[in-house]
Amino acid sequence: MTTEAPVRPGHRAHPAPAATPSARLRWAVADGWVMTKRNMAHVVRAPEEVIIYFTLPIMFVLVFGYVFGSGMSVPGGDGGDAYREFLLPGVFVMTMLYGLGATATGIAMDVGRGVVDRFRSMPVARSALVTGRSLADLFRALLEMATLLVCGLLVGWQWHDGVGNAILAVALILLLRAAITWAGIFLGMLVPNPDTVSVIVFPAAFPLTALSNVFVAPELMPGWLSAVAQWNPLSSTVAAARELFGNPGLGGDSWAADNAILLAVAWPLLLLSVFVPLAVRRYQRLSR
């Protein structure tokens, strides 16, 4: 940047508000990036929260993979090893879902704490707070994915269909995470109280994972439960990931199961197209 005014105490500078659309876009990107760095600095300065979020999925791998796993059967294999191969893509997606709590709490904290008032009284792009949050959470999800992949390899999970497909699977999981992030941003602004957020998120997240193909193949569920589980957006991403990783658990003859990859793209896009406008509108109407 070369246009900034020299700043000394007593020096007055008015950066002209962005006039042209391209200047606006440039500032929106720059401001969004400052906000992204802010949220990443939070993780560095207060890493405890991230560590708590990691313990849950690791616990699920251990409890479900080893305690229940030996008694579970999955389409395409029996016993603990097959079940762990089946389980891991589900745990990846479940971890992304629990990220909803982190996102919503972060936004609720911002909105409740008044720092947002300062942002709003400054010539900052209106979109910066929310784009910064979603980008930072995506970085964080990348970190979580890397850790989970290592954990998975340690318990004997593997990808079998090449690195390219594995990367594609991770990309689909992150796409779902992006959609979940925006839902979380909206929720955080709707309920601008961090404590209320966690009271809402955790009881809601568990049934969502239970009514999906994360732990149990939907074919093994009774009639309507099976249909719900198959059409659950989480299931689409999990099924697509299993397919791309070459993990067991594919099966069923429903349309949803046959078109898992298509649905794993469509569901998140649909969720994004609902929650992005809702979140942005909500932000613009804060404290009116």
Partner 1 sequence: MIPDGIAVLAEGLRKRYGAAEALAGVDLSVPAGTVHGLLGPNGAGKTTTVRALATLLRFDAGRAHVAGFDVVEQPDEVRARIGLTGQYAAVDEVLSGRQNLVMFGQLFHLGIRDARRRADELLEQFDLTDAAGKSAAQYSGGMRRRLDLAASLILQPDVLFLDEPTTGLDPRSRNGVWDAVRALVADGTTVLLTTQYLEEADHLAERISVIDTGRVVAEGTSDELKSRIGGDRVEVVVRDGADLAAAAEVVGSVAASAADVDPDTRRVSASVRERVTALGEVVQRLREAGVVVEDIGVRRPTLDEAFLYLTGHRTDQEVPA
Q: Give me the residues that bind partner 1 (CB under 8 A), please.
A: 1, 4-18, 27, 30-31, 34, 37-38, 41-42, 45-46, 113-124, 128, 287-288
User: Min. distance of Cβ 7 from partner 1 in angstroms?
Assistant: 5
Task: Indicate the residue among 222 and 285 with the shorter CB distance to partner 1.
Answer: 285
User: Min. distance of Cβ 281 from partner 1 in angstroms?
Assistant: 14
Task: Indicate the residue among 71 and 123 with the shorter CB distance to partner 1.
Answer: 123
Give the residue among 246, 208, 247 at the shortest CA–CA distance from 229: 208
Task: Indicate the residue among 35 and 216 with the shorter CB distance to partner 1.
Answer: 35
User: Min. distance of Cβ 110 from partner 1 in angstroms?
Assistant: 8
Task: Indicate the residue among 105 and 237 with the shorter CB distance to partner 1.
Answer: 105
- Tell me if 250 sits within 8 A of 239, measured CB to CB: yes
User: Min. distance of Cβ 180 from partner 1 in angstroms?
Assistant: 23
User: Min. distance of Cβ 241 from partner 1 in angstroms?
Assistant: 33
Task: Indicate the residue among 12 and 203 with the shorter CB distance to partner 1.
Answer: 12
